[in-house]
Structure 1
């Protein structure tokens, strides 16, 4: 029971951290691409 609970908790923490870094990276990339006037991808 405890091992399963720790496994689920660890998975949730990993998922939250991954999503948070992904959103932070997307916002940083969008901010950077706004500052840059040259289009990189069509």
Structure 2
């Protein structure tokens, strides 16, 4: 593993990036819906 850090990173990075993007999108959607519930006037 230590001899080929590039291969390890290339295999690990996409999964980490996708999971991070999904969690960020979920958080943004939750915040948006929460703000809508918080201020029904807008």
**Both structures adopt the same fold (TM-score exceeding 0.5):** yes
TM superposition shift of 1:36? 1.3
Count residues in correspondence: 38
- The alignment partner of 1:9 has SS state of helix
Calculate the aligned-residue CA RMSD, in Å. 1.7
Query: Unaligned stretches of 5+ in structure 2?
Result: none
- 1:14 matched residue in structure 2: 17
Q: Deviations over 1:1-42 (max 9, x none)?
A: 76444212100011111000000000000000011113xxxx
Tell me the TM-score normalised to structure 1 length. Answer: 0.71
Query: Unaligned stretches of 5+ in structure 1?
Result: none
